Structure 1
Amino acid sequence: MSLKDYTVLAFIFWNVFVFITYGVDKQKAKSGHWRIPEKTLLWESILLGGLGAFLGGKIFHHKTLKWYFKASWYLGIIIDIAFIYWILVVWH
């Protein structure tokens, strides 16, 4: 496998990890346990995890009422699209 392939796999695994993070935080919220800080969830979505955060938020119905989470999801998705474009078109 090439470095490009590893980069794509890392991107996919990161988004799966972010998705799982949203699910874990939702479960912790339901059970009243220690929570994952909002800063962490926001940074995960902006740092190439926009798709995972968006899907996690929608599927787990978590943080969907907070405007700044929606903004970070959409910003993260835009960053994800730019990154995917860079991998597929620009990186030779």
Structure 2
Amino acid sequence: MAPGAERMDGTLVSWKDSRGFGFIAPANGGDDVFVHISEFVDASRRPLSGESFTFEVGATPEGKIRARRVLAIGATLDDTPTPAKRALNLGLAGYLAVAAFAVLFALIATERDLPVWTIGLYVGTSILTFLVYADDKSAAASGRWRTPEGSLLALGLVGGWPGAVIAQRMLRHKTRKMSFQLAFWGTVALNITAFVAFSSPEFLDLVARLSQP
């Protein structure tokens, strides 16, 4: 099967939702075609094994055949939001959340004597979280062992969520799975709530008293 822009019909005969890939059996016969979640044009729902789609055949830089621009039967590229537009909207919202938290952090740090390690915690865990997301993205593409979602959520909960937001938007990773996104933003809310509580004057005074000899 040679790569080309001509659209073909096929059935999703296998799908590993946790890893975001599967195989489409072309309706006209031939070998099953690999498909990644990022190639489904409509990201409003997850694909299911047994569903029918139209797709284009493309190739990776290594020459491996894969499905491109996958659409449900009857849908067209004109009436389906493009991944670029969705990524722009989601990316803007995520970056705004990080920017708003940075402003909140700066205001609280200006008014109160926050420990120096606080900013180090957020910066350090954010860098670590970004690297973990990047490795998980690479693992998903190559079929290697994946980082458990619980670990990704835990990193965000302890302060790495700004790095997670940037990684999700820049790498287009973990943005399509609604259950993960709901859990992720729940951990963000918990982290911000904890930050506000722990940076209150009462808590900081308690820490200062306990740290005195």
TM-score (norm: length of structure 1): 0.75
Residue 46 (str. 1) matches residue 157 (str. 2): yes
The sequence identity of aligned pairs, in percent, is 26
The counterpart of 1:16, out of the listed 121, 127, 132, is: 127
Compare the two structures and name the one with the higher helix fraction.
1
Structure having the higher strand fraction is 2
**What residue identity is the alignment partner of 1:26?**
K
Instruction: Tell me how many residue pairs correspond in the alignment.
Output: 91
Instruction: Give the number of the structure with larger relative contact order, counting CA–CA contacts within 8 Å between residues 6 or more apart.
Output: 1
Unaligned runs of 5+ in 2: 1-112, 206-213
Deviation at 1:84, TM superposition (A): 4.3
- In structure 1, distance between residues paired with 2:160 and 2:183: 10
Deviations 1:44-67 (A, max 9, x none): 222322222222111111111111
- Could you report, residue by residue, the CA deviation over 1:6-30 in whole angstroms, capped at 9, with x for unpaired residues? 2221221011111111111001111
Cα deviation, residue 86, structure 1 = 4.6
Post-superposition CA distance 1:38-92 (Å, at most 9, x none): 2211222223222222221111111111112212332233234334435655335
Q: Counterpart amino acid of 1:49?
A: G
Task: Provide the residue aligned with 1:81 in structure 2.
Answer: 192
Structure 1 gaps of 5+ residues are none
Do the aligned partners of 2:157 and 2:187 also contact (CA within 8 Å) in 1? yes
Counterpart-to-counterpart distance in 2, 1:12 and 1:76: 17
Give the aligned partner of residue 64 of structure 1. Answer: 175
Q: State the secondary structure of the residue aligned to 1:22.
A: helix
